[in-house]
Structure 1
Amino acid sequence: MKKQTEINNTEKAGWLLLIGIVLIGANLRVPITSVGTLMSFIREDLAISNAVAGLVTTLPLIAFAVLSPFAPKIANRIGMQWTIGLSMIFLIIGIAIRSITGIGFLFIGTLLIGLAISIGNVLIPGIIKMNFPYRIGVMTGIYAVFMNIFGALGSGLSVPLASVGNMGWQGALGIWGILAIIALIVWLPQLRKQQGGVSKATRQPKQKTKLWRSPLAWSVTLFMGGQSLVFYTLIAWMPDMLNTIGYNAGSAGWMVFLMQAAIIPTTFVVPVIAEKLKNQVGLAIATALLFMTGFAGLLFGSMVLVPLWAVCLGIAGGSGFSLSMIFFTLRTKDGKEAVELSGMAQSFGYMLAAVGPVFAGVLYDIGSGWTLPLIFLILISIVILIAGIISGKEGTIAERAKIVA
């Protein structure tokens, strides 16, 4: 009887952890994706330029780049569960501040949101590898699916929500704080756990992995950064791109929703397939080619085919993100190293990604149109192709280093 009770408690704890991971994942994109379709309202209300407006999307990426290397160190000190719990508190505060009218509040709140999200971005792959070592592909797919479902809802619902009563863009952004509060409440039982996750792993004898000198680690970083740059640039500017060819704000928002809807099944299927394959080179090549097809379609195609290009970009984005997450686990020997690679890749990767929205805005201002920004994104797709081929080859960082040696 006692043994059965222990089994039931273990199963209950497992389900609580799974639901907690899902809800944390649900909060890792929606505070950012909800901004893109409201950008024209924010720009008009606050009287700011395209380049300055691009900072609303770029600031979180800068925060990702700055905090990502420190996330494992913070988790080592206070425990992985407490680190994620505190990040949810900062996320709630950031969403509340951003919803107050004024440029200063907008940027301060956005920065806090970026710092909070960076914790989850870095630590979730490690939590999955440590707690679900035999279900990495499925678990990566599950949390990525919910991340992108809510990311898509953020894009699709923002304009309609802003039109409800007196909500405006401030209310449409602030309402997502409710989701963060729910995630925090569900995560609270994890704070009672003694296991520190990363901290426990660091108590074991250390074998230094030279990530910073590893070509494979840098390839994973470039792949992560390239696909992130593409995604956040599209979230920031795709509505405006579509406005120039005849789409109104609402319709453009739903095209971004369609793109993110195409991401959703991909983010579940790709990790499951990738885990079973000997290598992921073919998946990486397909991802880059779909990106190129989508951008070429937006550059040269007609308005009628925009839904097709949106789907191509969505499938590529889902595949690119999922491969990045699965590379953190498949190319490392344990959960500790997975978190370290995640921190490195997301730090330098998001630093690269932070260039995207602002640089695209600058290119738009220079060329008075979206031709130059789309050519820039096609070039980034070539970088994704090369980095993906290297990252997709079989072997962990340590194993590949031995082969080279």
Structure 2
Amino acid sequence: MALVAGFVLAALNLRPAIAGISPLLDEIMDDVGLSPAGGGAITTVMVVCLGVFGPVVPLLARRIGLDRTLLAGLLVIAAGVSLRGLDGAPMLYLGSALAATAIAVMNVAMPGVVKQHFPSRLNLMTGVYVSSVVAGAATASALVIPLEHVTGYGWRGVSALLAVPALLAAVLWLPQARRGRAGGQEGPRPIGTVLRSPVTWYVTALMGLQSLTFYVMLAWLPTIFLEAGVPADQAGYLLSLTNLVQVGTSLAVPVLAGRRSSQVPYVVGAGVLTVLGYLGMLLAPTTLPWLWMIVLGVGQGASFVLALLIIALRPANPATVTALSAVAQSVGYGVAALGPMVFGLLREVSGGWSVPLMAGLGVLAVQIVAGSKAGRPATLGR
């Protein structure tokens, strides 16, 4: 029970440091004296860190073990969110980068942790992991403003409060880290095998492209609806709705998809649902917008959890899971970091959202093709 509780609480800490910035961004920019570009750079720096620092995880896992790597990540998240609440823009960016680096490490380590500790419940625990990640993001974005009002601490104090759940998760995970193998992961180094396999690059494409379309919606969805004539409060609720839908989807889909040797029907179906969500925003954004957001949430939530499930299923052992996760998430988040900026440029050049949304449909078409390859039965590192 303590193992599961520590695992779930660790997963809940994987998004609040990022999702908690957006609701406070105007206040942060005013207080620190940042331009809109400087404010947007906070999230950009964090997403870039998600891609850049993933490759160090196989080395850490081999040296100190997955359990101790996860514990270190939780402690560094706590340090990062505390640091960015100090005076000055340098501390803001440094603390954000530090927290994102820890999240990058934990992102890559978590599929290996699932494979190592829950091999007989891999499908269920992958769903629990992803739904906890989504729930952590939704909770942080919803609560930072109320917490600011209740405590009177301002954005700096609220940022520091995000260290509390990370420290609590570290306390729960500490016994597991102490029991972990001092020598880390055993067996041959799997990175060469992973890099030579076409499966790796199909999985990487799936991970990167579904992340790109998700971060585009996270950054621009309210603006798309606002410019279509939807009231501001409703535009915010629509973003919350699509994120909440992903929680339930993340629990159900891996249990069903993991029972089959091939996940192709699920990956293609998730991509098609995401396409329908994009088409709804493109063709009829003010007609049943809540329906488009439910469809989009199911599609994006399923795509994310399926990418992580495939990362956990394809390798034969936890060390290879960590290697595949490092490649797929590092390259994937590097690609995803470009999405919001490119879509913003397309909006600026074209004068509307039709061209960016059509570009998104093109990305989704490639995602479906890559997913149909990644979802086929295969084994890495046997």
TM-score, normalised to structure 2, is 0.91
Query: Matched residues in 2 for 1:97 and 1:345: separation?
Result: 29
Q: Percent same amino acid among aligned pairs?
A: 33
Q: Cα RMSD between the aligned structures?
A: 2.4
| Range 353-362 or range 335-344, more displaced | 353-362
2:11 — aligned with what? 25
Paired residue type of 1:119: V
- Residue 87 of structure 1 pairs with residue 76 of structure 2: no
Query: Matched residues in 2 for 1:161 and 1:242: separation?
Result: 27
CA-to-aligned-CA distance 1:341-389 (integer Å, 9 cap, x gap): 0011011111101111222233333334433332232222112111100
1:48 — aligned with what? 35
Alignment CA distance shift 1:375-1:52 (3 Å): farther
CA-to-aligned-CA distance 1:314-336 (integer Å, 9 cap, x gap): 11121111111111121111111
Query: Matched residues in 2 for 1:167 and 1:250: separation?
Result: 25
CA offset at residue 18 of structure 1?
1.2
- Residue 73 of structure 1 pairs with residue 59 of structure 2: yes
- Residue 213 of structure 1 pairs with residue 196 of structure 2: yes
CA offset at residue 161 of structure 1?
4.0
Equivalent position to 1:330, from 293, 299, 313: 313
Paired residue type of 2:42: V
Equivalent position to 1:312, from 277, 285, 295: 295
| Range 54-63 or range 340-349, more displaced | 54-63
1:153 — aligned with what? 139
Q: Is the 8 A contact 1:33 1:235 kept in 2?
A: no
Equivalent position to 1:383, from 362, 366, 382: 366
1:276 counterpart SS class: coil
Superposed counterparts of 1:193-204, under 5 Å? 193-196=179-182, 199-202=183-186, 204=187
1:118 — aligned with what? 104
Alignment CA distance shift 1:309-1:157 (3 Å): farther
Query: Matched residues in 2 for 1:230 and 1:270: separation?
Result: 19
User: What is the number of equivalent residue pairs in this alignment?
Assistant: 381
Q: Is the 8 A contact 1:34 1:158 kept in 2?
A: yes
Equivalent position to 1:135, from 112, 115, 121: 121
Query: Matched residues in 1 for 2:325 and 2:53: separation?
Result: 12
1:396 — aligned with what? 379
1:228 — aligned with what? 211
1:379 counterpart SS class: helix
- Residue 346 of structure 1 pairs with residue 329 of structure 2: yes
Alignment CA distance shift 1:68-1:167 (3 Å): same
Query: Matched residues in 2 for 1:327 and 1:41: separation?
Result: 40
Alignment CA distance shift 1:206-1:53 (3 Å): closer
Runs of 4+ in 1 over 6 A off after TM superposition: none
Q: Is the 8 A contact 1:155 1:256 kept in 2?
A: no
1:270 — aligned with what? 253
2:354 — aligned with what? 371
Q: Is the 8 A contact 1:54 1:236 kept in 2?
A: no
1:135 counterpart SS class: helix
CA-to-aligned-CA distance 1:135-172 (integer Å, 9 cap, x gap): 10011111211111121122333444455574444444
1:355 — aligned with what? 338
Query: Matched residues in 2 for 1:133 and 1:391: separation?
Result: 21
| Range 161-170 or range 112-121, more displaced | 161-170
Alignment CA distance shift 1:184-1:165 (3 Å): closer
CA offset at residue 293 of structure 1?
1.2
Structure 2 unaligned runs (5+)?
A: none
CA-to-aligned-CA distance 1:86-114 (integer Å, 9 cap, x gap): 21111112112233464333322221111
Equivalent position to 1:175, from 155, 158, 161: 161
Structure 1 unaligned runs (5+)?
A: 1-14, 400-405
